[in-house]
Amino acid sequence: MKHLLLGDEAIAQGAIDAGLSGVYAYPGTPSTEITEYIQLQESRAPRGIFCRWAANEKTAMEAALGMSYMGKRALVCMKHVGMNVCADAFMNAAITGVNGGLIVLAADDPSMHSSQNEQDSRFYAKFAMIPCLEPGNQQEAYDMMAYGYELSERLKTPVLMRVTTRMAHSRAVVETIEQPKAQNPKSMPQDVNHFILLPAFAKRNYAELVAAQPEFVRRSETDGHNTYIRGTKPEKAILTTGIAYNYLMENYPADMGCSILRIIQYPLPKKLIDQMVADGAKEVLVIEEGQPVVEELIRGMVPSNVVAKGRLTGDLPRMGELSPDCVRTAIGLEPLPKHDSEKLVVGRPPALCQGCGHRDMYAALNEVAREYAEPRIFGDIGCYTLGALSPFHAIHACVEMGASVTMAKGAADAGQHPAIAVIGDSTFTHSGMTGLLDCVNANANVVILISDNLTTGMTGGQDSAGTGRLEQICTGLGVAPEHVRVVVPLPKNMEEIKQTLREEIDYAGTSVVIARRECIQTLKRHLKAAKKQ
């Protein structure tokens, strides 16, 4: 069957067709659509695939490992920075190994379209010493899911699949199989000690992982995903990874004659690289999306008289995603004739929606903050990060999920007052709750302002893990019930919100103010759905 699918959707359909039993994820651009697609398919034709959102990437990774433990095929998906959140579970899943197939899907965001850094998840695969797949197009993304599960089960290891924004969010026609593979039956691990990482067992497991490395390399060399074609002028070679090949072929003149090594599976295929050198390569241009991972590695794999070129040598830009244009320049072609950019065009930055509750929350917070000599407001990850921009200029920091709470605490520990955290409901349950416990235990003089829009807004309105229970969670963690306050962020309530904020700022201890009003986008959808019924 042929379907027009986003890269993310191709991955999801590939997982379903490979007999997936559970997907575990926290929303994050550009990975969100994978889980959403599986949820949609499951609502139309239930196959018993578990597909509820997880509280964060670490809980997702651990649950996926649990499903694998039971012999079933599991998928865990996240954006690249989610790998940091689940790193403990991820690194140790490489030591336990798997029972049912386990694919960890990391969607990287070079150029930081919707992210705070452009870390390259291939480093994580190397760090954990596990195989990594980097499909070069939507069809390969689909096909490599089935392959990835077989590889994972055969080699008893988690497999990392790494994609980037451009493939995740681009549509193409994908040919799929007619009937999904049946899910694995439940089965216990043959050796339960493999999953008990006491030092004695862990040492044995790690030795096995080290011993398995040549087999991982052999798979990269012989399974047919990585391809090497000797050129007619083999002294010049080009090595591409993932989607970089497409930018090369978009521009590549048939008579250029370079040897081309196309890589979509790691560890690097040593034999193919050796062949490229044996054929006479004196110069290797490495074209890869993201950080110069292969460019660094290959320097240790080729003789010293072979020159590696790429992002580190300035032949390609050091940062940002690839384009047909920069690859064109890197292979020595002139740019296409084009118009100059229009000088009169001005930026149009994203903004909080009109009618959004975060707006009213910031309006009140800004007015109250002005009453203090030197307020510090620590922001967090979500739509409300836009409070940093005009017209609010309301926050003084934004680092990573949950950091608002604990940075405010650290600032309060250093004597700052008022120290205020602004965090969304979903971000709070993702990584803010443990920080709040630290605040409570130290009775830190902070105000944690939870801007609760009852959803995970920035990624399009997915379920939020603590909806309806935020007060209970906060009091359960030990915040005094009289210092867990709830306000409704609407212009008519401005005075009440400001007074509440003042009282809690002036209280010398840990307090929580919940500003709760439904996301304007999900509200519109809910009203529309209600009207239909």
Partner 1 sequence: MKKDIILAGVGGQGILSIATVIGEAALQEGLYLKQAEVHGMSQRGGDVQSNLRLSSEPIMSDLIAMGGADLIISLEPMEALRYVQYLKPDGWIVTSCVPFLNIPNYPELEEVLGRVKAHKNHVLLDVEALAKEAGAPAQAANMVLLGAAIPMLGIDHDKMLAGVARIFARKGEQVVNSNLAAVEAGYNYAISVR
Binding segment (CB under 8 A) for partner 1, from list 13-21, 253-261, 298-306, 337-345: 337-345
373 CB neighbour count, 10 Å cutoff: 6
* Alpha-carbon span 290 to 268, nearest angstrom: 16
Tell whether omega for the bond before 30 is within 30 degrees of 0, i.e. cis: yes
**Residue 345 interacts with partner 1 (CB under 8 A): yes or no:** yes
Among 84, 176, 193, 323, binds partner 1 (CB under 8 A): 323
Give 200's contacts (C-beta < 8 A, 6+ positions apart). Answer: none
Question: How many angstroms separate the CA atoms of 248 and 113, rounded?
Answer: 23
Question: Please, which residue, 173 or 319, has the CB nearer to partner 1?
Answer: 173
Give the separation between CA 61 and CA 271, rounded to whole angstroms.
33
Told to check if 339 binds partner 1 by CB under 8 A, we report yes
CA gap 426, 452 in Å, rounded? 8
Q: Does 1 bind partner 1 (CB under 8 A)?
A: no
Backbone phi, psi, residue 107, to 5°: -105, 110
Instruction: Point out which span in 90-98, 320-328, 368-376, 523-531 binds partner 1 (CB under 8 A).
Output: 320-328
Binding mask 120-159 toward partner 1 (x if CB under 8 A, else -) reads ----------------------------------------
CB of 29 or CB of 500, closer to partner 1: 29
Q: What is the DSSP letter of 397?
A: B
Q: Residue 21 or 385: which CB sits closer to partner 1?
A: 385
Q: Is 524 in the site for partner 1 (CB under 8 A)?
A: no
Q: In Å, what is the CA distance from 413 to each residue of 219, 375, 406, 448?
A: 53, 15, 10, 15
Q: Which stretch binds partner 1 (CB under 8 A): 323-331, 422-430, 443-451, 495-503?
A: 323-331
Which range, of 118-126, 190-198, 207-215, 455-463, touches partner 1 by CB under 8 A? 455-463
3-state secondary structure of 132: strand
Which of 45, 336, 373, 530 is the binder for partner 1 (CB under 8 A)?
336
Instruction: Give DSSP secondary structure letters for 184-214.
Output: PPP---S-GGGG---HHHHHHHHHHHHHHHH
Residues facing residue 511 across a β-bridge: 447
Cβ partners under 8 Å of residue 206, min gap 6: 95
Q: Which is nearer to partner 1, 72 or 80 (CB)?
A: 80
Is residue 182 close enough to count as binding partner 1 by CB under 8 A?
no
Interface stretch with partner 1, choices 264-272, 318-326, 396-404, 496-504 (CB under 8 A): 318-326
- Positions in 188-217 near partner 1 (CB under 8 A): none
Residues with Cβ within 8 Å of residue 133, at least 6 apart in sequence: 144, 147, 148, 159, 160, 161, 162, 225, 264, 265, 266
> In 3D, which of 510, 522, 408 has the Cα closest to residue 464?
522
Q: How many residues bind partner 1 (CB under 8 A)?
A: 49
Closest separation in Å from C-beta 9 to partner 1: 12
Degrees (nearest 5) of the Cα angle 246, 247, 252?
A: 95
Give least dist CB 23 to partner 1, A: 19
- 113 touches partner 1 by CB under 8 A: yes
Residues 374-413 binding partner 1 (CB under 8 A) are 383, 386
**β-strands 419-424, 307-309 pairing:** unpaired
Site for partner 1 in 14-33 (CB under 8 A): 29-30, 32-33
Under the criterion CB under 8 A, does residue 350 sit at the interface with partner 1? Answer: yes
- List the one residue out of 462, 393, 395, 392 whose CA is nearest residue 427: 462
Distance CA 217, CA 465 (A): 40
Sign of CA dihedral 91, 94, 98, 100: positive
Kindly compute the dihedral angle of the four CA atoms of residues 484, 490, 492, 495, in this order, to the nearest 10 degrees: 40
- Least distance between partner 1 and beta carbon 446 (Å): 27
Based on C-alpha coordinates, what's the Rg of the chain? 25
Considering only 34, 89, 104, 352, the residue that binds partner 1 (CB under 8 A) is 352
Contact of 165 with 108, CB cutoff 8 Å: yes
Q: Is 256 in the site for partner 1 (CB under 8 A)?
A: no
Between 382 and 466, name the residue whose CB sits nearer to partner 1.
382
Helix (H, G, I), strand (E, B) or coil at 363: helix
Using CB under 8 A, which of 342, 370, 374, 533 touches partner 1?
342
Q: Which 232-251 residues touch partner 1, going by CB under 8 A?
A: 243, 245-247, 249-251
Could you tell me which stretch among 121-129, 392-400, 443-451, 456-464 binds partner 1 (CB under 8 A)?
456-464
| Under rule CB under 8 A, residue 520 binds partner 1 | no
> Contact with partner 1 (CB under 8 A): which of 324, 355, 476, 491?
324
Helix (H, G, I), strand (E, B) or coil at 330: helix
**Which part of the chain contacts partner 1 (CB under 8 A), choosing from 11-19, 163-171, 263-271, 507-515?**
163-171
Q: Which of 40, 88, 173, 187 binds partner 1 (CB under 8 A)?
A: 173
Q: With respect to partner 1, which residue has the nearer C-beta, 141 or 277? A: 141
Binder of partner 1 out of 122, 156, 162, 166 (CB under 8 A): 166
Among residues 267, 271, 299, the alpha carbon closest in space to that of 128 is found at: 267
Among 182, 253, 348, 414, binds partner 1 (CB under 8 A): 348
Give, rounded to a whole angstrom, the gap between the first and last alpha carbons of the chain: 34
Question: Can residue 77 be called a binding residue for partner 1 (CB under 8 A)?
Answer: no
Q: Does 532 bind partner 1 (CB under 8 A)?
A: no
Chain contacts with partner 1 (rule: CB under 8 A)? 4, 6, 29-30, 32-33, 113-114, 166-167, 169-173, 243, 245-247, 249-251, 323-325, 328, 335-342, 344-353, 383, 386, 458-460
